[in-house]
Structure 1
């Protein structure tokens, strides 16, 4: 009896008797059991090792100086070395190689895993398979959990590493884990199949799957009409519960340059809304168009959807407001709202309430754009960002790094803005060059003409837990926050207390900015090429990307489509190079000549910047400009650098 009593005291003091071993399946379940998203991961340490330039410069991996912790005697590179009990939960790179990576887990003298770096992402080596591992929008990503009890070291057998980010979490002291092994059991395989089944579903199937996973799911359906100045309540509950899904249709109602319909969500007796955000921004529209189809939120099948679980204590209310715009004639809109919910109240000691913070601003010189800066206990689960430069040209504002201070300690420092969104290499073909949506991350847009882009990323096993505070921001420009822009971000997070955050919704920051000066670059232009034309892309103008080196026949034509340019009257300018063998050229709008004939011939190569060519009227049905060529013998070359349109 005395022995039993002493054992009971020991168990109570240490917590060892009832402690569950953390396994790979426990981590994997979080990718398909979305109900766990509000749960705290209390007293854990979320952090990242990356290749950022520690001097404050922009050499975040190009030269490789900051891409390893130390070089071993055999010239291999240690890129990760963390002690404690934890898990590697994210590996990202835009520059994988075929060199071997060795993972040393705990006290292993030999690598627990040796793998071709590329095969962390290729799908060729189990369990590093899609959709948890893969590559798109220029980045390679791996979310398969690699657990360790005491120590984890990752060594590259290559001679040089470039860009990477390795995220990890350290568990509470005393936690017992099942360390990573290459012997994959059926439970892991079943979990990976469950992830694939949910992630590859469309919006309708996701809604059914998530509703089915919540016992006692109820649904309210509300159709309503709303006009400027109106506020319409679509959901109210005066008891504890949790919202498990929100669907608003038709999503086409929000595809506009004006983001005037605002969604507000209130919890309990809190004075400020937990969500106070234009519908378009919350559901991942970018610059007036639907652009996100993530696992948690987006728009698909003409429906805006969110399956982010939102528990509350006593009451909840959802309403929509239609704010006036001073320079737009706005019409009444008919909408339908479907709210999924249960009567299971928040577990206050284990779960946070959901909040979303929108920050829309003209960036400040020398200061980063702040995603979130709050006090409290909780975790950060997602970012949606639209970014647009105020200067025409390359999107160099996206060179900026993200950084995160948690509980007064720098935990994360990134290597570039598209890197933060699991992408890489903006302005390169089939990399970060257009919108693309994946379950956890994606590119919202990419346009050199409008100098704008954007991305989103959601966090599951890698959610950034904080006990006291979090400061999460991103730079605009590679150094010193010196490239001006318009940034609009929505941050998604859970917290134990309401925050005094004002979204500052104004006429100015709910209208998509269209610049008066628009640059058309060969690199991403939509062109139609006439007969017998030969075009090579060349890096002849590094500040704005690639140019077209054209060899043309007599009367050859290159038609440049301007369908994305707003209708109106413009002055048209062209940049090109005079060079030996240059031909004559003119610019036409269909069969109407808008520029006289000019020679591009010269004894020595010289660039001609922004030469005025003529006036052009762009309409919905007449939206192209054609460069036409006159050649004679070897005088048949033309180097096109860009076109520029300035609104009259």
Structure 2
């Protein structure tokens, strides 16, 4: 039976006992959810680690069957996490919530302090599990509410857990904190509501809430191909707290040649050396990301990561290309800063941009690898162009994070890393959608494209010696060919060497031939019949058209997205079969084929039949299919393919 109370909390709880200079716990963790200005501060704690349902054999059963979704059984309950303290749970994620009870046991107690339906961690919007600190979208359910424990925490599940990730951070052993309290203090409640208020402002300028009134410097940048111009320079300590740009949307979608460069304190390597559009989370040239810390909203693109420096800072803008070729580009910059030098307990802000076409088979794609030193990781943007037509199966690959020489976090799928779930499924990971800390950059299966982003706040990944983050391309063995581009955000002691952005490197790759699964088509209209979606003939899914009778043929009109305008060769894959009639393809009033007889005494698969040439304008085209026959006459459509014609 579903419990009416959000939580069941035992009467006794640990007494707060804090040592001077070592005051960590619920209040500090709550404040970290909104303390953007503290992002550069090093975490003087133990490591961040994660329990998850990933397949320990290296295969792809990351939660489908629940095989690896618990540590052990205790009676009829699954133990899904068990930590010795002190520490804090910073993130819980699943794409498969249920009304089964989840229980949190603290410090060896026999009665759980938290016992509630699992799905209400994410969906109740009741104190303290408030939206958007806890919530759901793009197929995933997430909870960033910190759950501290003093000596230990054990999490039990009364049901069958499937996919899940539970991320936690250990404190140093001598740290004294109180575990999850029966009653929250006024300060703790205020800190949570401050986080809720700030997160609800994602996509807006949050700098006044974070810093009061930072100094703003405006720059109108006029730049031509082959030029590099200064944007900002300081020869004393301080910190940039925001950069906003207007005018990026006026640039051609395919133009990714504007590059932002930054240096701190005279360092030889750039701290930032990345295409502007990639830095702001554009998806193959189109604006997409709209998060709390970076993205595009209204007329502006923005980044609000604080960037402290000790003695000097220099920002420059470069326009790749040949000198004297091309027109002038005009952008308006607003740079916000404070005259507060970097402190000893802060890292410097660095961005590592890279692109890799076809990572080696058997090896994952590296988002950031080989960094040695102290720091913490705070953000990822990843855009993927699959090189097999009509599939994003590479997104089955898991993320893996190594800190200080040990694998600490192993994910369960690429969209899972971005707090999403279920790519290819309608109303899940199927289109661009942003949340305050994470989201989907876009999803177009026909183009084999997708991508996501994730920013870290209280859950930032600290390290003392080294850091590595990789992601697999494919469910097993890293076999899918993919063209990746990524942006990694971190704080540390020094920048990472990277390949300089060049025109050929920053340009967007062309997708392979476009393949549209019939059961996923964007259907604009149909009449004089019915549609049956997702049926199978053998192993192939089909969209079934069935006439309703009468003198008029059945009609179905669909929209086909394409990355470029022009003329495309159009192909169809379908079944001839018993009870089928005649079909005809049209683009609006232009007839592409005569009537085609698709009757057959047995099911006969037509793999790739040329239909005609289709004109794409403004990124899309419509296609209309007519089906003619007696009442109940059928047509089984499997796929539509399009290939761009050269010279058009």
Offset, 1:618: 2.9
Q: Counterpart in 1 of 2:98?
A: 97
Q: Counterpart in 1 of 2:373?
A: 376
The Cα offsets for residues 137-165 of structure 1, whole Å up to 9 and x where unpaired, read as 0000001111001111000111x211000
1:46 maps to 2:48 = yes
1:447 maps to 2:444 = yes
SS of aligned partner of 1:508: helix
Q: 1:621 to 1:360 in 2, by over 3 A?
A: closer
Any conservation in 2 of the 1:91–1:166 contact (CA below 8 Å)?
yes
**d(CA) in 2 for partners of 1:527 and 1:542?**
24
**d(CA) in 2 for partners of 1:610 and 1:115?**
53
Q: Counterpart in 1 of 2:59?
A: 57
**d(CA) in 1 for partners of 2:421 and 2:43?**
30
Any conservation in 2 of the 1:42–1:467 contact (CA below 8 Å)?
no
Q: 2:360 aligns with which of 347, 359, 364?
A: 364
Any conservation in 2 of the 1:394–1:543 contact (CA below 8 Å)?
no
Q: Counterpart in 1 of 2:532?
A: 536
Q: Counterpart in 2 of 1:340?
A: 336
**d(CA) in 1 for partners of 2:628 and 2:108?**
73
The Cα offsets for residues 589-634 of structure 1, whole Å up to 9 and x where unpaired, read as 2222112221222222232211111223334498322111211244
Q: Counterpart in 2 of 1:575?
A: 573
**d(CA) in 2 for partners of 1:353 and 1:542?**
57
SS of aligned partner of 1:505: coil
Q: Counterpart in 2 of 1:515?
A: 511
Q: Counterpart in 1 of 2:187?
A: 187
Q: Counterpart in 2 of 1:294?
A: 291
Q: Counterpart in 1 of 2:208?
A: 208
**d(CA) in 2 for partners of 1:32 and 1:21?**
18
Offset, 1:276: 0.2
Q: Counterpart in 2 of 1:434?
A: 431
Q: Does 592-601 or 316-325 show the bigger shift?
A: 592-601
Q: Does 20-29 or 389-398 show the bigger shift?
A: 20-29
The Cα offsets for residues 477-535 of structure 1, whole Å up to 9 and x where unpaired, read as 00110000010010000002233x11331222212222351112234432222323311
Q: Counterpart in 2 of 1:152?
A: 153
**d(CA) in 1 for partners of 2:464 and 2:373?**
6
The Cα offsets for residues 270-303 of structure 1, whole Å up to 9 and x where unpaired, read as 0111000000000100111000111000011120
Q: 1:621 to 1:269 in 2, by over 3 A?
A: closer
**d(CA) in 2 for partners of 1:226 and 1:121?**
47
Q: Counterpart in 1 of 2:602?
A: 604
Any conservation in 1 of the 2:18–2:176 contact (CA below 8 Å)?
no
Any conservation in 2 of the 1:276–1:503 contact (CA below 8 Å)?
no
**d(CA) in 2 for partners of 1:38 and 1:622?**
44
**d(CA) in 2 for partners of 1:622 and 1:485?**
24
Q: How does 1:180-579 map to 2 (within 5 A)?
A: 180-201=180-201, 203-212=203-212, 217-254=214-251, 256-324=253-321, 330-348=326-344, 350-362=345-357, 363-373=359-369, 374-499=371-496, 501-515=497-511, 517-540=513-536, 547-553=542-548, 554-579=552-577
Any conservation in 2 of the 1:260–1:325 contact (CA below 8 Å)?
no
Please report the TM-score for the alignment, with normalisation by the length of structure 1.
0.93
Q: 1:631 aligns with which of 626, 629, 632?
A: 629
Any conservation in 2 of the 1:255–1:289 contact (CA below 8 Å)?
no
Q: Counterpart in 1 of 2:13?
A: none
Any conservation in 2 of the 1:325–1:507 contact (CA below 8 Å)?
no
**d(CA) in 1 for partners of 2:204 and 2:616?**
40
**d(CA) in 1 for partners of 2:81 and 2:168?**
10
Aligned residues: 624
Any conservation in 2 of the 1:582–1:601 contact (CA below 8 Å)?
yes
Offset, 1:110: 0.8
Q: 1:30 to 1:124 in 2, by over 3 A?
A: closer
**d(CA) in 2 for partners of 1:552 and 1:388?**
38
Any conservation in 1 of the 2:388–2:512 contact (CA below 8 Å)?
no
Offset, 1:255: 5.6
Offset, 1:579: 2.0
Q: 1:622 to 1:68 in 2, by over 3 A?
A: closer
**d(CA) in 1 for partners of 2:67 and 2:386?**
30
**d(CA) in 1 for partners of 2:260 and 2:493?**
22
Q: Counterpart in 2 of 1:9?
A: none
Any conservation in 2 of the 1:253–1:333 contact (CA below 8 Å)?
no
SS of aligned partner of 1:65: coil
Any conservation in 2 of the 1:583–1:631 contact (CA below 8 Å)?
yes
**d(CA) in 1 for partners of 2:506 and 2:343?**
36
Any conservation in 2 of the 1:255–1:280 contact (CA below 8 Å)?
no
SS of aligned partner of 2:119: helix
The Cα offsets for residues 426-483 of structure 1, whole Å up to 9 and x where unpaired, read as 0001000000001000000000110100000011111110000011100000011000
Q: 1:441 to 1:39 in 2, by over 3 A?
A: same
**d(CA) in 2 for partners of 1:541 and 1:380?**
48
**d(CA) in 1 for partners of 2:62 and 2:610?**
40
Q: Counterpart in 2 of 1:172?
A: 172
Please report the TM-score for the alignment, with normalisation by the length of structure 2.
0.93
Q: Counterpart in 2 of 1:83?
A: 84
**d(CA) in 1 for partners of 2:392 and 2:307?**
36
**d(CA) in 1 for partners of 2:274 and 2:80?**
40
Any conservation in 1 of the 2:33–2:458 contact (CA below 8 Å)?
yes
The Cα offsets for residues 80-114 of structure 1, whole Å up to 9 and x where unpaired, read as 01112100110000011111111001121111111
**d(CA) in 1 for partners of 2:513 and 2:227?**
36
**d(CA) in 2 for partners of 1:205 and 1:289?**
21
Offset, 1:251: 3.0
**d(CA) in 2 for partners of 1:221 and 1:534?**
59
SS of aligned partner of 1:419: helix
